[in-house]
Amino acid sequence: MGKGPGLFIDIGKKTRDLLYKDYQSDHKFAITTYTSNGVAITSTGIKKGELFLADVSTQVKNKNITTDVKVDTNSNLLTTITVDEPAPGLKTVFSFIVPDQRSGKVELQYQHEYAGISTSIGLTASPIVNFSGVVGNNLFSAGTDLSFDTSTGNFTKYNAGLSFTKSDLIASLTLNDKGDTLNASYYHSVSPLTNTAVGAELSHSFSSNENTLTFGTQHALDPLTTVKARVNNFGKASALIQHEWRPRSLFTISGEVDTRAIEKSAKIGLAVALKP
């Protein structure tokens, strides 16, 4: 585990990655190439039913400054400039989308042995201000995440969370959606040698009084091949297999079936990421 409590987005992240990361029902292909001076160019295509989406992104690194530029099929230009550690523990992120003039944002992240702080402000006349803070250490942490719209004078987001971490176990509790959704999650590393882990997440909505319980597991068949599976209380069962057939190049196939309507066709997703 990393030193210190991390940021608010890190609360429950291990469980979310186990249960949801790399699962998809679309077809995705991405290829990354590198120029002689180290510039990375990534072309991505996604097929969603009859719709095809594509984007091209470029990443340039110069000492502690990373610049990412992405152009999508809607002619949007997303630029993100990250300055890593201009001071110890500090990270600065500046991002904007062209032609959206209200999309500009500056974010500051600071991580300390006993605290993690992230704050951002939109570059507009009446910006949205976001603040999240976590206090604790690498065993226990507690934090909050707030967004305030200066144009209306209202809070647009207020979340809170707790996390408890041991060498092989992580438990977290978060209150999201302005206090409407309570999430409890659990992650247990069974065998680090085979990357075997199990996890569960229980989500309760106070407005609808509905509960969603999801179980998941993962296991490495060999150093290059990982399988994952999950199921929830609504009968949706999913599985995937991911193979690193060469360094940093991944092939992933996933599927989902509704066990309460087995006559329906299963959803199959395919992802290929090539990094020569």
Instruction: State the 10-residue block means of pLDDT for the chain, 276 residues long.
Output: 81 97 95 90 92 94 94 92 93 93 92 95 94 95 97 95 95 96 98 97 97 98 97 97 93 96 90 91
Q: Is 13 helix (H, G, I), strand (E, B) or coil?
A: helix
- In this structure, are residues 137 and 32 in contact, taking their beta carbons and an 8 Å threshold? no
Read off the tokens for 169. 């176990």
| DSSP letter assigned to residue 150 | T
Contact predicate 251/269, CB 8 Å: no
200-218 CB burial, b ≥16 within 10 A, e <16: bbebeeeeeeeeeebebbb
Q: How many CB atoms lie within 10 A of CB 51?
A: 9
3-state SS assignment for residue 264: coil
Strands (E), 17-139: 27-34, 40-48, 51-62, 65-72, 77-84, 90-98, 105-111, 115-122, 128-136
Environment class of 104 (CB within 10 Å of its CB; exposed 0-12, middle 13-18, buried 19+): middle
C-beta separation of 205 from 180 below 8 A: yes
CA triplet 218, 224, 225: central angle to 5 degrees?
Answer: 40
Q: What is the pLDDT of residue 1?
A: 39
Amino acid (one-letter) located at 172: S
**C-alpha dist (Å) from residue 11 to 114, 142, 217, 218:** 15, 9, 19, 20
First vs last C-alpha separation in the chain: 30
Kind plus residue range of the DSSP H or E element containing 17: helix 13-20
Structural domains of the chain ordered from first start? 8-274 (2.40.160.10)
- Which residues contact residue 86 at a Cβ distance below 8 angstroms, ignoring those fewer than 6 apart? 64, 92
Give the C-alpha separation, 93 to 77, whole Å.
Answer: 16
> What's the whole-model pTM score?
0.91
